[in-house]
Structures are given as C-alpha cells and as structure tokens.
Chain A
C-alpha cells in the first residue's frame, strides 16, 4: 500500500504534467477506446502466460510498446518502481518455493502487465480516457464521478501541498512512530481541513455545472469516430494478444521453441 503513496507522491503534484508526456507521443492521438480495449486485451493475455518463452515474448511486446510510444523512460521507470515491491515479494516467494525459473517468469509477467498499463495511463489524456470509458458504456454515474473526482484531486492536491509548506514553516516534523500522538493529530486535522475546504467548493461546483446545462452526465464530448489508424492499432494489439493465448494453450505450436 505504501507504494501508492510513493507512486502518487512522485507524480501527483505534477499531475498537470502527466498529460504533457502524453502529448509527445503518437499514442496520444489515437482514440481512447481503441487504447483501452487494446491494452485490456493485451494485459489479459499477458496475465495468462505461464510458459517462460511466452512470458518473455509478452514482456518484449510491452517494452516495444513503451519504447515506440516515446513516453520518457524516466517517467515510466518512476511509475514502475511504485509497483516494484509487490512484484519483488511475489517473485521471491514463487522463486523460493518453485525454483528460479518460476520466480523470473513471475517477475517478467507482472512487469509486462504493469508496463502495458503504464503506457496506456501515460499515453492518454486523462479526460479523453474518461470520455472513452463513457463511450464504452460505463455507467454515467461512474464516469461523471471520475471526471469530477479527478478535477477535485488536482485542486485538493495543491491545497494539501500548500498546507504541507505551512506546516513546515511552523516547524512541524512528522513523528517517528505510531506512538507520536501529536503527529497523528496534526495529520488527521490536515486531512479534515482539506475535506472541509473542499465541501464548500462542491456546492459552488454544482451551481456552476447546473448553469451550464449539466444533467447527470457530461454530454457534448467531441464525438470523434474511430478512424482507420485506431482500428489498425486495436487490430495489432488484439492479434498479438490472441496469438499469445493460442501459443500458451498449445493450439498453435510456438515456432521458436527449442
């Protein structure tokens, strides 16, 4: 769980910049639906791989996707490190009981999945991703909440970082253990304050939305059709995923096996 924190800590305060990475990538211009479905297909296939050569092949595919996406490697690496503790413990555990091969396969399989997901996350504009979900028939309640929540996360994140600066200025330092009651009190009051300040915003937001004709669903998103490029991207990913699964199930023989 701590990984969430490290993960977001590194990224969150620069949340506006996430989409800037996206802009540098050809991936960014693809339709969010094609990316969502394609990456989902790949992740499902990659999670099914158990034969070492196929696990390796899926890892190579994920790395190829990451490399060709032009998303800065440092950005991907930092995000990957957040998932690393789980991958490490799982690989060690499987490796200790099942042998080195199984441990490495676990590490490669989880890495392939995480990298593919990170490419999707970093190579897509956030609100385009939510709009894509809505067009894929995710309930309006969920997508509307996703948009509003993300909007508020950006606001509250800034609020929180301002409060962190203020705390530091007052000379506050985080305690060393759970026994530090003062530290926990300050932390929880900070969280409480964030919530209070935010709830005032919520009402104003609703009024603002209402005056712009909001009715339980954000309508009027650019309705761009799925273009040939999007279909091609989707087809390549689905073909790759399907072949991985066919090789895994031994419906088709893996050509490179020794």
Chain B
C-alpha cells in the first residue's frame, strides 16, 4: 500500500498532503497535553515494534504472503493520537531511509496507513467494546469478547485503508484521463480482494499479540486515567463512545474532498478524454471504461457498506452471545 511518487495525479496527491497536514496539526496539538517527555521512548519502542512486526510475513495461501500494518494494534494499545503520530514516524522512516513510498505521495500514504487505519481500528474497537462483556475498565481490554472485537477492528482498519488507497488510485486515473493512477476496474478488485485476505492475517496476529501482551505484560496497556470533567462540552467529549464516533466520522470526512474533486474534475477529465480520443496517437489495447463515475461511487458505497455491515454483524453476534451468557449466568 506504499504508493511511490509519480503514480498519483498531482491534484489528488496535493489534496492528500493538505488533508494529512490538517490531521497532523490537530494530532500534534492534542499530543501536547497527552504525550509527556517520558513517554517518548515508549512510543518509539512501540513504533519500532510495529515496524519490525511488519517484517513478519504470514502466508495467505497459493504461495502468496502478506504482512501486518499494525495500525489497529497501535491505536488499541496507545490511543488514536499517539497511533497517528507513531504510524507517521514509521512511514517517514520507510520513505526516507528505505525509499519505500514516495514523498509527493506521502500525504496519501500517511492518510491511508497513519490516519484512516488507526482511526478506523480504534473507532470500531471502542464502539464495539461495550458489547463484548467482561471487565470493561481501561486496564483490561482483553476480557470477555475483547479479542474478537480487536480482530474485527484490525480487519476493518486494513480493509478501509485499502479501499481508500484503491479509491485514490481510481480517482487519479479518472481526473487525469488515464495518465496517472490505476483504472478502477483493476485497482478496486485487486486492492480490496487482496486486502480482504490480508485483513484476516492482520486480525489473527493483532489478537495474538494483544492476547500475549495481556497475559505476559498487562501493564503494556495501562494508560493514565484522566479525571472526568465536571460538565459541559468537555464532559461529552470525555465519553469514549463519543470520541470513537468522532474518529469514524473523521474517516468519512477525509473521503469527502476526494468525492468533490471527482465531481468537479471528473466530467472535465471525461470530456477531455473524449475530445482527445481522435487525436490520441496511442493505440489502446482495450477500450477505455467510459463510466468512471459509477465505478468510483460504487467503490465508495462498497467501502461504506462493508464497514456498516461488518459493524452490524458484529453487534448482532455479540448481543446474542451476551444475552446467552447473561441467561446462563
């Protein structure tokens, strides 16, 4: 999912940078009160641990392998703000030291893997956690059906991040009339299909790591408990559910500008393609898919539908399990 430079349409890449800059500024601002100086080595260790864990290949089948992104694990362990900063640091090292993922594309790469993935993972985990039963306090995330929830959160984070990447690639293709990006007919099935499977491995490993840590070193999850504000907006914002709902809304908000770019530029691009078609000296091996619009909206809808459907299915399963458990008890 590390997109190199020169692949995305410049407009889409610039939009990615703007969106990422806004999110990063907010995260840095929030970190002032949340990250103390003595936390820095711990965050660095966690980032390094996730980086190294990304090097563990797991087999998918048919000879192919995948590996962890770790954004959901990071966010569940350290909270969304720290996860955004830590994942950004990981991506910076990958881009600057290993040349993996581009500089102009860094905004989009960071948006997908350092913002959308952790926010989705954390949001899904936190929203579903109350349904999992068990001990619900901050310091014991893996009692009851906690591990199941963590797995669902991990899978969703990978799938939503891959959908975002696929949409960006298709959008680049559509607005540049086929000069940049990857056609949606290739990008969407390839990215989503592959990452639906990767997500299963991600979920298994996230649950495994989390269960291991919880057993061996429960302190790893301990986060300082802040005092509940007395009243007003601060009190509403204190609620984890509200915070998680905001995280999920932010993910959707980040997708909106992409849609505006499409609706304002898409037609121009299409018209240009059609007018250029006569003058184009290249010989297309396949006819161009003319209806980019439906593909893109379909992708967006599919992503949103997948997200909502997974959440609902998980809620359903959990409420059944919970009512059984309470009846048995």
A: residues with CB less than 8 A from B are 1-5, 7-9, 11-12, 18, 39-40, 43-44, 46-50, 79, 82-83, 86-87, 89-90, 93-102, 105-106, 109-110, 112-114, 117-118, 120-122, 126, 129, 133, 139, 141-142, 144-146, 148-153, 155-157, 160, 174-181, 183-185, 187-196, 198-199, 201-203, 205-206, 209, 214-216
Among candidates A2, A79, A82, A126, residue contacting B67 with C-beta atoms closer than 8 Å:
A2
| A-chain residues with CB within 8 Å of residue B254 when the two chains form the complex | none
| Chain A residues positioned under 8 Å from B198 (CB to CB) | 1
Q: Check B37 for interface membership: any CB of A closer than 8 A.
A: yes
**Sample of 22 A–B contacts (CB below 8 Å):** A1-B69, A2-B67, A5-B55, A7-B98, A8-B98, A46-B5, A79-B99, A87-B4, A94-B180, A97-B286, A98-B288, A114-B5, A146-B89, A153-B48, A153-B93, A156-B51, A185-B208, A188-B209, A188-B211, A191-B52, A198-B49, A206-B41
- Quick one: CB contact mask for B86-109 with A, threshold 8 Å, 1 for yes? 101110111111111011100000
Q: Which chain A residues border B104 with CB–CB below 8 Å? A: 43-44, 47, 113
- Per-residue interface assignment for chain B, residues 276 to 289, with 1 indicating a CB less than 8 Å from any chain A CB and 0 otherwise: 00001111111111
| Bound complex: CA A39 to CA B190 (Å) | 32
CA A51 to CA B285, docked complex, whole Å = 20
Q: CB distance A195 to B40 under 8 Å?
A: no
| A17 CB → nearest B CB, Å | 13
Q: Which of B56-64, B119-127, B234-242 contacts A (4 or more CB under 8 A)?
A: B56-64
A145 x B47 contact (CB < 8 A): yes
Give 3 closest A-B pairs by Cβ, nearest first: A99-B282, A188-B208, A192-B212
- Asked if B31 is an interface residue, CB under 8 A from chain A, the answer is yes
B317 at the interface (CB under 8 A from A): no
- Tell me, rounded to whole Å, the shortest Cβ–Cβ distance linking A163 to chain B: 10
Assess A43 versus B5: contact at CB under 8 Å? Given A96-B286, A206-B38: yes
A100 near B282 with CB under 8 A, answer yes
Which residues from B are CB-within-8-Å of A203? 41-42
Q: Which chain B residue has the least Cβ–Cβ distance from A119?
A: B99
User: A152: which B residues are within 8 A, CB to CB?
Assistant: 44-45, 47-49
Q: Are A40 and B53 in contact (CB under 8 A)?
A: no
- Do residues B31 and A191 form an inter-chain contact, with CB atoms below 8 A? no
Bound state CA distance, A45 and B202, in angstroms?
A: 37
Give the chain A neighbours of B210 by CB distance below 8 A.
Answer: 192
Q: How far is the CA of A203 from the CA of B220 in the complex (A)?
A: 12
Complex: chain A residue closest to B46, CB-CB: A195
Closest A-chain residue to B162, C-beta based? A1
**In the docked arrangement, what's the CA distance between A40 and B286, Å?**
36
B94 CB, nearest partner CB in chain A, Å: 7
Which of B42, B59, B88, B280 sits near A178, CB closer than 8 Å? Answer: B59
Interface core residue of B46, B55, B65 (most chain A CB under 10 Å): B55
Q: How many A-B contacts at CB < 8 Å in the complex?
A: 326
Q: Would B4 and A187 count as touching, CB distance under 8 A? A: no
Closest to A98 in B: B178
Cβ of B94: which chain A residues have Cβ within 8 Å of it? 4, 8
Residues of the A chain whose Cβ atoms lie less than 8 Å from the Cβ of B92 = 142, 146
CA distance A214 to B186 in the complex (A): 50
Question: In the complex, which range does the number of interface residues on chain B fall in?
Answer: 35 or more
**Residues of B that sit less than 8 Å from A by CB:** 1-8, 10, 13, 28, 31, 35, 37-38, 40-49, 51-62, 64-69, 85-86, 88-90, 92-100, 102-104, 169, 173, 176, 178-183, 186-187, 190, 195, 197-198, 200-201, 204-213, 216-217, 220, 280-289
**Which partner residue on chain B sits nearest A185 by CB separation?**
B208
Please, which residues of chain A bring their CB within 8 A of the CB of B169? 90
Residue A187 contacts which of B35, B49, B99, B208 (CB distance < 8 angstroms)?
B208
> In the assembly, what is the distance between CA of A133 and CA of B55, in Å?
26
Cα separation A178 to B312 with both chains bound (whole Å)? 25
Chain A residues with CB below 8 A from B206, complex form: 188
Q: Are A114 and B220 in contact (CB under 8 A)?
A: no
**A199–B204 Cα gap in the complex (Å)?**
22
A82 proximity list for chain B (CB < 8 A): 98-100
Is B284 in contact with A97, judged by CB distance below 8 angstroms? yes
Measured CB to CB, the closest approach of chain A to B152, in angstroms, equals 16
The distance in angstroms between the C-alpha atoms of A42 and B52, with both chains bound, is 31
Residue from A1, A47, A120, A149 in contact with B6 in the complex, judged by beta carbons closer than 8 Å:
A47
Are B200 and A47 in touch, CB under 8 angstroms?
Answer: no
**Pair A188/B44 contact, Cβ less than 8 Å:** no
Known: A86-B4, A99-B282. A196 touches B213 (CB 8 A): yes
Once the chains are docked, how many angstroms separate the CA of A94 from the CA of B111? 24
- Residues of B close to A110: CB separation below 8 A: 4-7
Chain A neighbourhood of B42, CB < 8 A: 199, 202-203, 206
Check if B96 sits within 8 Å of A121, measured CB to CB: yes
Closest beta carbon of chain A to B196's beta carbon, Å: 11
> Quick check: B55 and A48 within 8 Å, CB to CB?
no
Select the residue from A90, A117, A118 with max chain B CB neighbours within 10 A.
A90
The answer to whether B102 and A187 have CB atoms under 8 Å apart is: no
Q: Residue on A with the closest CB to B88?
A: A142
Give Cα A153 to B50, complex, Å.
Answer: 9
B3 CB contacts on chain A under 8 angstroms: 86
- Minimum distance in angstroms from B268 CB to a CB of chain A: 16
A136 to chain B, nearest CB (A): 12
Known A-B contacts: A156-B48, A209-B41. Give 4 more (CB < 8 A). A99-B280, A99-B285, A120-B99, A188-B204
Cα–Cα distance between A40 and B289 once the two chains are bound (Å)? 34
